[in-house]
């Protein structure tokens, strides 16, 4: 079941009911490991925090600027329509940063757990991140809610393709520096990435779910199915404020699944969960997932 975008009153009632149910949050690692050992369906729900430990900017809060632009202002269909070259410079920068980053111990622990416990358990990883670090760590059963930096989508024929070229086109070479003194972009649209299908040649865009856009229905459906079936959910490095992902773990806890949060500090969702383990994911996750 997927609750979607609910009203403030509905959300308040929902969280209050879960808070009453999970009034005491434990940090007993031994007890959690026993619970995880007996689980048959395990979901990892990851957010920006795990990738931040690999040096990926979160683009949230005070640090959420690229040049003089609020990063969220560039992640929209309107921004791409107004200046596709500026948006592509921003995403080229993000691609370069992510390509240099390496999966950390948290990513690797999740991938190792999946490899070791499949097929006796169903292990799913649902991530809000777009950097591809879970895949590079070896995770197989991965659902990327918000897309992937290394995929493109044609604005004309809608074809989605993997693309790890660096730069993705010659015009973007040595561009995208986060220099606050650089304003706008002068790259002609004709020089930006375009569809390689000779019958199309439409302008490509990053295959990212931008603000104002819906998540892909098939990804959303699979994520909902995984959350409905899980008996243990591990919430990793996410602030639990971005919907619809923010409702997944409380929803699972409400129906009886065990939820454990791994984060640097408590979040609004922490009181709703059965376990909370404070600290870097690269430290706490390997401990939780080891035998």
181 and 240, same domain (yes or no) = no
* Distance, CA of 87 to CA of 269 (rounded, Å): 33
**SS3 (DSSP) at 20:** helix
Give the span between the Cα atoms of 81 and 157, in whole angstroms. 17
pLDDT of residue 170: 98
Say yes or no: 199 and 276 in one domain: no
**Is the domain of 185 the same as that of 80?**
yes
d(CA 38, CA 25): 20
| CA distance linking residue 206 with residue 149, whole number of Å | 6
Same domain, 164 and 35: no
The domain spanning residue 7 has which CATH number? 3.40.50.1220
Residues 107 and 50: beta-carbon distance below 8 Å: yes
Q: In the listed set 158, 193, 208, which residue is the last one of a domain according to the structure?
A: 208
Q: Are 45 and 119 found together in one domain?
A: yes
In this structure, the number of other CB atoms found within 10 A of the CB of residue 170 comes to 7
Ramachandran angles phi, psi of 272, nearest 5° = -85, -10
> Is residue 291 packed enough to be buried (19+ CB in 10 Å), middle (13-18) or exposed (0-12)?
exposed
Q: Which of 146, 194, 207, 274 is catalytic?
A: 146
130 contacts: CB under 8 Å, gap ≥ 6: 144, 146, 147, 148, 149, 208
| Residue where a domain terminates, one of 164, 191, 208 | 208
Question: 204-208 and 147-154: which strand pairing?
Answer: antiparallel
> For every one of its 291 residues, what pLDDT tens digit does the chain have, with 9 covering 90 and above?
333 333 443 444 444 444 434 455 899 999 999 999 999 999 999 999 999 999 998 876 555 789 999 988 999 999 999 999 999 999 999 999 999 999 999 999 999 999 999 999 999 999 999 999 999 999 999 999 999 999 999 999 999 999 999 999 999 999 999 999 998 999 999 999 999 999 999 999 999 999 999 999 999 999 999 999 999 999 999 987 777 778 999 999 999 999 999 999 998 889 989 999 999 999 999 999 998
Claim to verify: residue 69 and residue 183 sit in the same structural domain: yes
- Whether residues 95 and 107 fall in one domain: no
Cβ–Cβ contacts within 10 Å for residue 165, how many?
11
Pair 122, 6 in one domain: yes
Task: Tell me whether residue 107 is one of the annotated catalytic residues.
Answer: no
Task: Give the CATH number for residue 85.
Answer: 3.30.1600.10
Judge if 154 and 35 occupy the same domain.
no
What's the pTM? 0.90
Residue 61: give the domain boundaries: 57-100+147-208
Same domain, 230 and 282: yes
What b/e sequence results for 41-60 when a residue is b if at least 16 CB atoms lie within 10 Å of its CB, and e otherwise?
A: bbbbbbbbbbbbbbebbbbe
Token pair, residue 153, equals 């989508």
Report how many domains make up the chain.
2
Question: What token pair was written down for 242?
Answer: 């971005």
Q: Which of 170, 188, 208 is the last residue of a domain?
A: 208
* Together in a domain, 158 and 291: no
Residues 85 and 120 in one domain: no
Helix axes of 105-117 and 281-289: crossing angle, nearest 10 degrees: 20
């Amino acid at each position: 079941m997927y609750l979607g975008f609910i009203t403030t009153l509905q959300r308040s009632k929902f969280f209050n009911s879960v808070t009453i149910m999970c009034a005491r949050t434990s940090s007993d690692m031994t007890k959690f490991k026993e619970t995880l050992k007996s689980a048959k369906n395990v979901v990892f729900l990851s957010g920006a925090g795990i990738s931040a430990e690999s040096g990926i900017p979160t683009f949230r809060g005070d640090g959420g600027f690229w040049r003089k632009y609020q990063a969220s202002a560039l992640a929209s269909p309107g921004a791409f329509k107004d200046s596709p070259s500026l948006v592509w410079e921003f995403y080229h920068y993000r691609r370069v940063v992510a390509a240099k980053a390496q999966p950390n111990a948290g990513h690797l622990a999740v991938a190792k757990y999946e490899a070791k416990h499949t097929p006796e358990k169903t292990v799913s990883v649902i991530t809000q991140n777009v950097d591809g670090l879970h895949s590079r760590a070896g995770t197989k059963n991965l659902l990327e809610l918000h897309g992937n930096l290394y995929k493109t989508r044609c604005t004309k024929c809608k074809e989605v393709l993997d693309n790890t070229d660096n730069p993705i086109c010659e015009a973007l070479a040595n561009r995208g520096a986060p220099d606050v003194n650089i304003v706008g972009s002068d790259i002609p649209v004709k020089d930006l990435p375009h569809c390689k299908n000779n019958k199309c040649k439409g302008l490509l865009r990053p295959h990212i779910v931008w603000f104002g856009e819906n998540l892909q229905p098939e990804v959303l459906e699979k994520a909902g199915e995984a959350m409905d079936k899980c008996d243990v959910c591990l919430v990793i490095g996410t602030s639990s404020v971005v919907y619809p992902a923010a409702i997944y773990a409380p929803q699972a806890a409400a129906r009886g699944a065990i939820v454990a949060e791994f984060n640097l500090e408590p979040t609004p969702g922490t009181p709703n969960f059965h376990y909370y383990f404070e600290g870097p994911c690269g430290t706490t996750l390997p401990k939780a997932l080891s035998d």
